[in-house]
Amino acid sequence: MITLRRAEDRGHADHGWLKSWHSFSFGEYHDPAHMGFGNLRVINDDRIAPGTGFGTHGHRDMEIVSYVLEGALAHKDSLGNGAAIVPGEVQRMSAGSGVMHSEFNHARDHATHFLQIWIHPDRSGIAPGYEQKAFSEADKRGRLALVAAPDGRDGAVTIHADAAIRAGLFDGDEAAELALPSGRRTWVHVARGEIMANGQALKAGDGLGLVDEPLLTLGQGRGAEVLVFDLAT
């Protein structure tokens, strides 16, 4: 079964300093038909205006992955961690038993564009923590590179959830196939550009859910950056 979620059908919030598109219900956007997909709870496509950001706020019992597409995202948390996330880097924050953090765009002249991803953890109350790694364009060019996994294999960040995230860049004849295990769910999110996925023409912001499909095929990309989620049911 294939479910198509078009970019324009997502929830939208415009707070002036923040413009956000919600693939699933979030904040004031509530749609009972789109509460998540398997244990994937949130994909927010966020743009933060220059010199603004999210003030200090709290999370608990959620695996939060930040994937920056343009600009830089400055992060500080109550554990004493502070870093800037730039394109090509993936940050995983385990909120666990509770953490306070802030996110900010310190640039004076350009927005920060990033994906904020929430995945339900496989257990609650773990010690909060975070991890950040860089993945080069070569790592992702014409293939699906593993960027987050429960065991941190192949250089991925370690996520405390029954889920994995792959990222790929596709142009022209570049193509990839991924065998999909039985009893799992797969979500494809197009971060930018255009691509064909299992016969569906997708553009930036589109999502594709696959259940009981044996294979994912990606190709005919035009400046495409794609995230693929392997998820528990």
pLDDT in tens, 92-148: 999 889 888 788 888 889 999 999 999 999 999 999 998 999 999 999 999 999 999
User: pLDDT tens-digit profile of 14-43?
Assistant: 999 999 999 999 999 999 999 999 999 999
We report the CATH number of the domain holding residue 36 as 2.60.120.10
**pLDDT > 90 in the chain, percent:** 84
β-pair partners for 158: 149
| Structural domains in the chain (count) | 1
Q: Which domain range does residue 21 map to?
A: 2-231
Q: Are 105 and 52 in contact (CB under 8 A)?
A: yes
**pLDDT > 70 in the chain, percent:** 100
Nearest Cα neighbor of 222 from 188, 166, 174, 150 is: 174
Nearest Cα neighbor of 222 from 165, 175, 166, 167 is: 175
Pairing of strands 145-149, 157-158: parallel
Q: What is the CA radius of gyration of the chain?
A: 17
β-pair partners for 157: 148
Phi/psi of residue 163, nearest 5 degrees: -160, 160
pLDDT value for 79: 74
Under the banding of pLDDT at 50, 70 and 90, the label for residue 69 is very high
- What does the mean pLDDT of the chain come to? 94
Does position 226 have pLDDT exceeding 80, yes or no? yes
Q: Give mean pLDDT, residues 75-98.
A: 87
Q: Are 153 and 161 in contact (CB under 8 A)?
A: no
